Amino acid sequence: MSHQVPTPIMLTGDRPTGPLHLGHYIGSLKNRVAMQSLQGERYIMIADTQAFTDNMGNIDKVTQAIPELIADYIGVGIDPGKTTIFLQSAVPELVELTMLYMNVTTVSRLERNPTVRDEIKHRQFERDIPAGFLCYPVAQAADITGLKATVVPVGGDQLPMIEIAVETVRRINRLAGKDVLPEPQAMLSSVQRLAGIDGKAKASKSLNNAIFLSDDEKTVSAKVMQMFTDPNHLKVTDPGQVEGNIVFEYLDAFHTDKEEVEALKAHYRAGGLGDVKIKRLLISTLNDLIQPIKEKRDQAFASKGMLFDMLRDGSAKARAAVGQTLNEVKDGLGLFRL
């Protein structure tokens, strides 16, 4: 008997909490663009509902970030003809799925999520954690499964969320006695977590330590110049350390000529290669990548009306798909439907 491999369905997204940065690009956006040349369906969700879980005092910030995000998508090469871009809050069926899924996980399971624990620490919630924030991984399980996604291109910080989504799928399918939902899989890139320009473990919008895809040449240059290198590399002739050196971490991630980077590392380790030289190389490498993206995204941003029309169409399409999944889940569980 021939076994048919289902065509992949991709779902991923971003919180509208600021413009996209190099961490998003290397961790997820590049894979999303690559998925466009494969068979299957693709969805990108602007997670405004999720952004509210820690931004109820910053509604304007979230609202303003929405068109910025769409422009960034267009800038990196997301084609709305191939990828459906939608707004989370425009698909209320996701909330209903979330409420159902809340009952197949536990508070202690959510409290164990290492990414959420880190985020709670960074946001200094202490014991005042918004209930919605603790539960956002459940909502994420609803987003992923609502579109029956099988492939989720994400950075490494999202692995605990995918785990919760997989557990949710298994519980729902077990309760239904059949495979109502497919199990999703994370699609990771070679750089799972790009460091911040301040040397912190993760470049993030919320930590304000990122190089944005909308930064102009001067800003990119200033940010690279601020980067942390080897604090003991005081004179050019001193041997330098490559490990933990953010400039080399970025060169590894973004410079296309790997041999050149390896030769530079050897030179730096031996001594005789100055920080300014490697920083200049990084500046030109990053500007070669970012400036064409910025040009395209600025052009897209100038026609906001068109961006919102596209978001409306995408949201209608996603809503129809999630509505169908919601009914299948309800029927599978034997819920009463009027």
List residues near ligand ATP by CB under 6 A.
14-15, 17, 23-24, 27-28, 154-155, 157-158, 193-194, 202-206
Nearer to ligand ATP among residue 205 and residue 233 (C-beta): 205
Q: How far is the CB of 137 from ligand ATP (least distance, A)?
A: 12
Position 4, amino acid: Q
Per DSSP bridges, beta strands 151-153 and 84-87 are unpaired
Nearer to ligand ATP among residue 162 and residue 326 (C-beta): 162
Q: CA-CA distance, 121 to 105, in Å (whole number)?
A: 23
- Residue 45's beta-bridge partner residues? 13, 86
Nearer to ligand ATP among residue 164 and residue 203 (C-beta): 203
Position 335, amino acid: L
Nearer to ligand ATP among residue 202 and residue 279 (C-beta): 202
Tokens of residue 334, six digits: 């034997």
Nearer to ligand ATP among residue 140 and residue 168 (C-beta): 140
Q: How far is the CB of 2 from ligand ATP (least distance, A)?
A: 35
Q: How far is the CB of 332 from ligand ATP (least distance, A)?
A: 29
Q: How far is the CB of 244 from ligand ATP (least distance, A)?
A: 16
Ramachandran class of 18: left when φ > 0, alpha when ψ lies in -120 to 50, beta otherwise: left
DSSP E strands in the chain: the ranges are: 9-14, 41-46, 84-87, 151-153, 185-187
Q: How far is the CB of 265 from ligand ATP (least distance, A)?
A: 21
Q: How far is the CB of 309 from ligand ATP (least distance, A)?
A: 24
Q: With beta carbons less than 8 A apart as the criterion, state whether 330 and 336 touch.
A: no
> Residues in the chain, how many?
338
Q: How does DSSP assign 109-134, residue by residue?
A: HHHT-HHHHHHHHHTT-TT---HHHH
Nearer to ligand ATP among residue 27 and residue 146 (C-beta): 27
